[in-house]
Structure 1
């Protein structure tokens, strides 16, 4: 352990690292319930569960042995929502097996990231994006995730008069979800380890009690072990890529791929730097040593995940809980990865968790991401302010992360040109701008 992870150098012990790894897993294990719930709208939920657990373990193992950082990885919230709701049910609605096309885009994104990880392109891309836009995109994704969570629990419902409106308090799904949110918030306030996961389980147990009493009748919330673990369901999601469609719809496919790529950039970099800073792993210049290996971990994880049948794999901000518990090395990540593998034998339990139990987690994580809005400087450059603002409002209102990013970047570049600050626009930002303009042309001409 000492040779692999340099425990003494990081002033830690095997016991500390294992406890920290378990803590990290507990705080991010909700993804094993949430991801099949979201992606299950367009593909086999059982297969998604297996793919998520395996891809998370693979990526986290790479983080442990290659980068030696206490960071856990799994399917990113926001990216899975974009995969299911925006791409499969939106842009690709009407296509046969749209999830296969989306998985192909994730696979290509992963390959691109693997190639870029051998250079410093990912760092250069991040450094080229204005800080305000980064904060705006993160906050916008937070609102989008919260909106989806509220819809899943029927807190927010369709309304002919006002498009959307408040659900009914006579709906037990809505009431239970709101109670679940309060439970999670209280647990987090008191620094309870695994507060989000405990909140999900607690409100799920309440649902089972209500169903046993004949009060909750919407659907079955009890685990079904009659069909076994159904690990074989991964065959319905694994190796289902569709390169034929991608080749014949190249512009649309590239736009989808770029959206995955762009969002993943911010998610990974922001999370890794934040967790590393909390762990005291940044150097005196504020840089992260071995950052290329960190990026390689999520790039390989994303590629493997797409082959297995899940959306983009990314670093989890919940890893900060493990750091707070004393995690400093890859042994923390190794422990987290092992627990992801153990979770495979608990699939009937995770897959039985209903939407009213997972929705509070979505709403709460959305709040965490929305906190980035507090860092936006709205009294500075008009391009920065408007770009960040459009990213925040367009994502939930247009029901699309990609649309929010598109409006933010296009507005930012155009305002820089109009305010005679064209020199502020880097070549990379020009490339992004051109790609999104091509996407608009494709939408206008309905070129598929």
Structure 2
């Protein structure tokens, strides 16, 4: 206990060991799906699923441990959704590169990402982000979480006519997710500790009786990681045809991870001058995890927006992250148990957090349209393009253009012009 207090400074952050452990378990349960989804997606690209499963657990544990001990942040890392789909379905299956070359591209982008962080350029980028865009990042991530949650619960479904529509509310998944959300809100209002975790557990237990969930045992030996370990092809990644892929990985990693870190850290009250050194360390932690993951054999690793669930449960220090890391290591041997929690059981927690994150909208200066409109564009484009990075891109471009044509260009930090220009170049010459 004394060691934990000394390392994580629990009292200083107004938290305790129990709260941090519950928060860590909450975060883990909301993101545990990645250890099954990531092997499935990368497996479609021809990668051995068993090795990818092990690589996913190991890099999540390693990256999150560094975040915990080095930055003392309650934020977890794991291979990013969206990036893994781009890796498999665009780079490998559509563009025709081998998965080894794609891993090489992830490695090169990770090295660039780390250099940008080490030399302080990433910090300059962050300081250049306008206050309205910073607020919009939090709101946009909230909307993004809401869409993910509603989709996982089956409440929102795809539609060829309207893109999204109401799902089948007669399905037990949708009903259980709705009940789980109400349980969480009620318990939170009554100030019951661990309300989010209780809601997740309640839906999971109910799923065995009403949704056909099955128990597949407790223990299984982890597969070998040899088929993907150090199998990246860096030489192929440096050829002309795949350099565009490196740029896309780099830009998405830079703004996806930075946006998520800022949004979750702000929600935890950690983006204050006295604690900015820790934020800088968190940037270094997630930078190093990218190329480490490529060595193990998985797509880009990033900070997880699901960490917001643990923050809402009270997590404020690295002990929350360390708990998540330990649970990912356990999954190497307890993968059947980790797979028991269905996506619709964690969806209520994500939707609850998403609702709370929308209150940041009150901080936007709505009377100043050159600030409010870019913020709205940033927040709306994140869920509607299913990408934090795209939301940031359109937000920066809109902000720069509006300031320029309304005679307010002097209010714009030079970094905004640079970032907006880079994104504009990407859209014009590379595409979305």
Category of TM-score, reference length = shorter chain: 0.7 to 0.9
Partner of 1:356 in structure 2? 344
> What is the CA RMSD across the aligned residues, in angstroms?
3.8
Q: 1:245 to 1:108 in 2, by over 3 A?
A: closer
CA displacement at 1:265 relative to structure 2: 1.2
CA displacement at 1:124 relative to structure 2: 1.8
Preserved contact between residue 73 and residue 321 of structure 2 (Cα < 8 Å): yes
Q: 1:333 to 1:307 in 2, by over 3 A?
A: same
Give the one of 374, 388, 391 matched to 2:375. Answer: 388
Q: TM-score, normalised by structure 1?
A: 0.78
Write the distance in 2 (CA, Å) between the matches of 1:27 and 1:100: 34
1:416 aligns with 2:416: no
CA displacement at 1:235 relative to structure 2: 5.2
1:434 aligns with 2:421: yes
The size of the alignment, in residue pairs, is 421
1:201 aligns with 2:190: no
Q: Per-residue displacement from partner, 1:171-223 (whole Å, max 9, x unpaired)?
A: 22222222222233334334444433432332122121125xxxx4xxxx313
Write the distance in 1 (CA, Å) between the matches of 2:4 and 2:187: 35
Partner of 1:260 in structure 2? 253
The answer for unaligned runs of 5 or more in structure 1 is: none
1:57 aligns with 2:61: yes
Instruction: Name whichever of 92-101 and 261-270 sits farther off.
Output: 92-101
Preserved contact between residue 139 and residue 357 of structure 2 (Cα < 8 Å): yes
Partner of 1:127 in structure 2? 127
Secondary structure at the aligned position of 2:220 is classed as coil
The answer for unaligned runs of 5 or more in structure 2 is: 44-48
CA displacement at 1:431 relative to structure 2: 2.1
Secondary structure at the aligned position of 2:158 is classed as strand
Give the one of 74, 78, 90 matched to 2:77. Answer: 74
Give the one of 207, 218, 224 matched to 2:216. Answer: 224
CA displacement at 1:40 relative to structure 2: 4.9
Write the distance in 1 (CA, Å) between the matches of 2:41 and 2:173: 22
Q: 1:415 to 1:269 in 2, by over 3 A?
A: same
Preserved contact between residue 60 and residue 76 of structure 2 (Cα < 8 Å): yes
Give the one of 389, 401, 406 matched to 2:393. Answer: 406
Within 5 Å, give how 1:29-428 maps onto structure 2.
29-36=28-35, 38-44=37-43, 50-67=54-71, 69=72, 71-75=74-78, 80-84=80-84, 88-89=88-89, 94-95=94-95, 107-210=107-210, 216=212, 221-225=213-217, 229-232=220-223, 234=225, 239=230, 241=232, 243=234, 244=236, 247=239, 248-272=241-265, 274-275=267-268, 277=270, 285-308=273-296, 309=298, 311-314=300-303, 316-318=307-309, 320=311, 324=314, 334=322, 337-380=325-368, 382-428=369-415
Preserved contact between residue 10 and residue 17 of structure 2 (Cα < 8 Å): no
Secondary structure at the aligned position of 1:224 is classed as coil
CA displacement at 1:414 relative to structure 2: 1.1
Q: 1:40 to 1:306 in 2, by over 3 A?
A: same
Q: TM-score, normalised by structure 2?
A: 0.80
Write the distance in 1 (CA, Å) between the matches of 2:356 and 2:346: 16
